[in-house]
Structures are given as C-alpha cells and as structure tokens.
Chain A
C-alpha cells in the first residue's frame, strides 16, 4: 500500500463557527446570470432522490439538464424502496430536538468518521426538505389535528422521523420525480431512460461528458455538457445478497474512479440488523424489515441453547432480550451496527433460532397487547404483509425471524464541501458519495442526505463551478469523447468474446460469499488477506470463463449484469484493501483484532481519524495510493460511543 505524502486533498470547508459555515459558503459562491443559465448544460446521472431532486432544481433555475438512468422510468430508482422515514430537526414534538442535536447524533452515530461541517449543513437544511416535500404533495403521516406526525429511529432519543406508512422512500421519490416530470414537460430537462453510463469524458482535466450504452438498442451514445452530477447510488451488491435492488451497481462510480476521482472509505458498509434471514442458495436478494419496527418490536433469543419450542410457547423469563439487557438506555433502539453485531454474537454463541440457527426473534406481542393490533397494523401493515408473502408466516401471531444483511454503503467517491470530487466538474450526490455518515449511518438519514444534496446543496455549488471556471465550448466530436466511447465499447466486446461456461449469476454469487464471509460483519487480517487473493482468482476466472450470450447490439440484460460484475470484481478488492489497512473498529467496520473487553468497536483516533481516499493507478488495484483527509472534531467532542 502506498500512502501519499503530499496529498492535495482540499475539502474547502469554509471558515467560521460551524453554524455559519454554510451561510458563508453560499454568500461567497459565484452566480450565473439568469439569462446565461440556459446556455449551461448539466448532465445528471441517476434519478433517485439525489438525482431527481438535483435535476429538477437545476432545471427550475433555468439550466439545460440532461438526465440518464438505467431504469425504464426515473420513478424506479432504488430510493423507491426506502421504508421507514426521513429525519429532520423540526422539533415538532417539543422533545428537545434542534439542528445541533441532529448534528451531534449523526456525528456520533457515524462513530466520528464523518466531516463535521458537512453533517452540520445536513442538519441545517433538514427542515427545508420536509417543507419542500409537503408542498409537492407528499402525504406524510399526520396527527388527528392535521399536524405532521413523527416516529423514533435508532441512535436518537428524540422523535424526529417523518414517514408515510412503510413507504416513505416511494412517496419522497414520487415527489422528486413529479418535480422532474414538470421540468421534462417544460423542455428544460431531457430524460433518457434505459441508458447506462459506462465512462466519464474529461477535457482539459474537467468533467465534460459521459458515454452511455442505450440498453434497448445497444448503441453507444455520448452526451457533452459543462458539469456532470453522479447520483448513482450505493455499491452494496458487491456482496451479491443485500437489501438493495438488483440493478444497484458501482459501475459509474468505478469508471469515474479510474478517470481520477478518489474513492473514499469503501470498507464502510452498513449491515442492517432487521432483515429476513437467508433461506436458500438460489436466493437472489434479501428483504429489509424497516428499522422503525424496533420502535415497537422487541428483539430476543431463548435463554436456553437449542430451545426448540415455538417462540409463542417460550415464557418471558426464559427469553433473553439481549439488546435491552446490554443497552438499558437505548434498548432496542441502538444504532444499526451495534444491533447487528449483537445478533451475530448471540447466533455465533449458539442461541440462534430457525432452521439455520442464524436468526433472532422480533416480537410484537407486547406492543399488540398495549396498543391493539389495529394500531400496529396502521404503522407497519405493509411490512407485516411483505413478511408473510416471503416467509408464509403471520408476524402478528408468531414473532418474526430476522438476521442482519448488507444494506447501505457509507463509502463512495470522495467529495469536498461543494460535493465536488477530485475531478473538477464532477459532482457526486446521495449514497454515491462518502460524505455525511462516517462509518455508520443512522436510520432515516440517507433520504435526508440524498434530498439535501439534490435540493439544497448542489444547486448552489454547481452554479459556482459554472460561473467561476472558464469552460470552453466542447461537443462530442472532441477526441476525448471518441476515446472514451471506444474504450467503453472495447470492454463490453471483450466480455462477449470470452464465451466460456460459467454464468454471471454464479460468479457474482461467489464474489458475494467471499465478501460476506471475509469482509462482512466481522473482519480480520488473515481473512482479508485471503479475500484479496480469492477475488483476484475469481476475476481471472470471470475473464476466462464467463458466458454471456447474444449480441451487444440489442437489449441484453445478461450483458449488463456482466459489465457490472466485472467492475465489482475490481472494486471488491479495493474495499477489502481498505478494510485491511484500517487497523481499528469503527461503526460498520469491525476488525476483530480491535474490540473492547465487552466486544464493542474500539476506535483508534490517534492513527485513523481520517477519511481514506484511494487514487487509482491503472488496472492493478494493488497499486492504488491512499490519500488522507484528517478529520477534526471541534464541535462534538471525540468520545467512545456508548448506548448503554
């Protein structure tokens, strides 16, 4: 591993007290004259909350916006699947919430590995997000008197989560999508669906366009512009099994990384504690049961190993409510990383339940007794329905069985305070960037971040880039476009040429097993080192024996999947190398060598209080160079987290 000694990383954090930084930043940003905005062309890749919000807001301001998405419609982005809610420090419940408290909770929840200034800004604009969504017609839950309702989420002692039953992401995305549709109707935003970005085009060191493959016809297309906004979501599917939609991928980020964008903290992956357990080797994805269920559900395992009675028949005193036992203050509402590890600890110790013994119970009997079944149905009905569809069991009667699963990726392309990557003109928003959640994300904070980036940050900072850099006119006839197009096409053709014997699914599943077993909830040096070798071998196998049939000049879903897997096979190695280098435990990154006597994550602030941003040095991931952005904690004192 090479560590850069003369790193030029500049986070552009404004001076001044934390609560004035964003105002000062905005005051100093250069503006584009209203009549010039139309002449600037912004390319937005991805239409999740981050992309749809940014594209709509920029078009509203008057910019010419081009939007691409791999989906058949912008409304299908994976944000649609978010269930539980979105945080905002409105303090509508009068329970002591404030911008500062949301900021503190998020920094602490992230185990002190996020950039303070970004997190503060996130908390600061959180209230505006709710207002904006309400104005668009998002039907957030209300009290009987008509005021907005809230629920509690993990890692907080206040009630600040806004929600629409168990479909919050859907409603927020439909809001952002409808704003985008309004711009499409006005002609200011042009939308190209079923297009996959396969490369970034740079001219004079600035991001000036993208190469896409039209997924219906197979044709390669290029789009030129003055700025590129990458809003392509997270890379959880490097683990094959995750709660992410099947199309989630790292391709666009990885191609940008290879063109010079640094990739920060790839090892920070979030394992969500409440998912439906794995039940067969044909399984294609895992399903989340929203964290909001922990508001009313109690997590337990039998006190006696191998207790084979049905859960309803095990009396209370023979149950171990291990989260309530270990963390009396937060109880079932501890942050995700803590809850996940506690479940793993119980199962590894032999107390797991179900056929595979890799599950714990999530029990609603007390909540149903106290509040009545109708109240529980009102809050989580669709989640109970989903549980029953998948498992054939009724969660109102029998406790649900749950187990942790890969869910979210805190790592992503490194960005500065402007959300600009190390490539000028390339902005990265939403889950695709690394910025706000440190080593662990609190529930209901991803939707907040995606919309903060899209509605309230990028629309300002992108304008500054356009107004302050001299960007000469470029069309897609420029040689950089020809080169990028040829390289994207060559890669796809190479995949088709292998014509081996192993299917893409098989190879992807095997990559997932390596990642989960050696770089999942618990990681150690020996396992990580062997994972690097195994991933390398699997990558060789991919390029010598993958079988992708059909042509590149047609709708070919297997080819799409193969291209994404090829990138995961490179990226996976970087993720593991990052995990190996980080000799500490923090948030979702748990190095077994570094734990307290009670089995909690043990940070090493002396040596690792930095964001680790990797620079690509060509094909060989082992040659990547690490740049460090030191993290300073001035407003939230650096302490060991405690949820006891």
Chain B
C-alpha cells in the first residue's frame, strides 16, 4: 500500500440537463489517497462541492465492482480511463500522479443523450435487446438442462461474448459512435449456442435494424471499441455478426 497523497486538477463537464448548454469547470482537489477508486475520488469532490454550496456532479454508478455496467466516463479522452479491461469504478488513483490534470466527460453519442453532467441515457441498448436478444422460451417450457449437451469450448466461447456489461464504452470510443460491439456480443452469444438456433436469422436482422434506427453509426473496423471494453469483448464477434447478417439476408428471412 502507498501512503502519499495526490493533488489534482479536475476539468469536469457540467451540464444541468439535456437541453441546457454544458461547459467544463475546473476544480482543485487535494489529499487524494492512491488507494481510492476513481469514483471515491469523485465522492470526495462532491462532498467538498456540497460544503461549498455547489451542486454535486451527477454520475451513474452502482455496484462499484465492474459488473453492473452503470458507471462510465471519459477520462482524458479514454472511456473508463487509461487501464485496459477496467471500468471507471475499478480504476484506482494509484494509476495517477501528484499534480495531474484529469479531464472528465460523459459518453458522447447521438444515441446516448446527456441527462445531466456525466450521466447519459443508454436506453437504446435495451431496445436493441428487445428487438431480438432473447430465446423465445416461456417459463415452464424448458426440458432438462442436460438434454442439450454443449461442449465446454463452445460454452466458454459463448460466455466470452455474454459477459458484456452493457456500459456503452464501445460507443463512446468509436468515432462513428457505433454500437456494433455491444450488438454483436449478444448476437454471437446466442448464435454459438443450440438454444439460439431457432431464431438465429430473425435475431441478427432485427437487432442490427434496431441498432441503425437508434442512430448508432456504422462499424469501420478501427477496433477502438475492443481497446476500450472493460469486459474484454473481442471484435471477432463483430465479424461473426456480419457473417450472420449476410447469411440471414441471403436466406431472405425477416
């Protein structure tokens, strides 16, 4: 454990609501322990702001252990900050230096309107899942779990896609604000499992259709999304989604 403390200059995006204009504000913050998480650092700042009579900075968070996908801000231009495979809540201040200036902004994408300060509306993701990110099986219809043997390798590979936390970093990282990585993670999870076969074709067409309708951009293979993804979702899922999409289109399924 390290015991020295950090003095920081923070430039934080402040915007009262979706319609109001936003701007950066600069805050000085001292006495930050390197063992604090990034969000704990923001907690300290917020308590200081409240004491000074300024409204605290809005930011989304919940589990603070990297799994719920609620947190996420741009830190010096990088979604979730400098560490690979790490959410904002799991980023610790030991990765910064005394005297650093840190620029903190919300995800920026047309399909993610800003709610306030660093908090954005990601409900577009729910609508993409609603378009087809499920198996149409109702409660009570399931056969015994071992009826469908799934080789370990296949299950592991489906799980690699299924661990997406839906945070939106992929969109924030992409110059086209594409949600291809998010959408493909679900398509790929389902396409690799026997349970997903019956609706395989409709699923990919409907989900990609909804993705476009929400205003997310096209994927142009810059791989920024993979680099930013805290759950290490690979761009190979995008390739699989594209193959699935081509096959489904040619099969004439709707």
Contact = CB atoms under 8 A, between A and B. Distances in A.
A130 B145 contact: yes
Contact of A179 (B94, B134, B162): B134
B135 A73 contact: no
Interface string B166-177: 100000000000
Contacts, number: 222
A128 interface: yes
A139 interface: yes
B79 to A, nearest CB: 17
Interface in A101-160: 128, 130-137, 139-148
Contacts of B90: 386, 389-390
Interface string A549-590: 110001101100000000000000000000000000000000
A193 interface: yes
Secondary structure class of chain B's binding surface, majority of residues: loop
A557 B58 contact: yes
A216 B115 contact: yes
B116 A554 contact: yes
Contacts of B152: 141-144, 146
B134 A139 contact: no
Contacts of A142: 149-152, 155
A74 B142 contact: no
Interface in B38-90: 39-40, 43-44, 46-47, 50-51, 53-56, 58, 60-70, 83, 85-86, 90
Given A90-B145, A284-B39, A181 B126 contact: yes
A519 to B, nearest CB: 24
B26 interface: no
Contacts of A141: 152, 155
A367 interface: no
Given A178-B134, A181-B126, A555-B17, A284 B43 contact: yes
A75 B253 CA distance: 29
Contacts of B60: 72
B181 to A, nearest CB: 16
Interface stretch (A164-172, A223-231, A263-271, A528-536): A164-172
A459 B133 CA distance: 23
Given A131-B144, A137-B193, A147-B146, A80 B94 contact: no
A185 B46 CA distance: 39
Nearest to A147: B146
Given A72-B121, A279-B35, A550-B55, A184 B61 contact: no
A170 B163 contact: yes
B16 A139 contact: no
A280 interface: yes
A505 B148 CA distance: 50
Given A72-B122, A137-B196, A145-B151, 6 more contacts: A76-B69, A136-B195, A178-B134, A246-B62, A390-B92, A555-B119
Interface of A: 53, 56-57, 60, 71-76, 78, 80-81, 90, 92, 128, 130-137, 139-148, 164-165, 167, 169-171, 174, 177-179, 181-182, 184-185, 191, 193, 216, 245-247, 279-280, 282-285, 287-288, 355, 385-386, 389-390, 392, 455-456, 459, 501, 503, 505-506, 547, 549-550, 554-555, 557-558
Give the top 8 A-B pairs by smallest Cβ distance, nearest first.
A146-B149, A135-B142, A178-B134, A131-B142, A134-B145, A60-B138, A57-B139, A139-B159
7 contacts: A137-B134, A179-B139, A182-B136, A185-B131, A279-B35, A282-B43, A555-B17
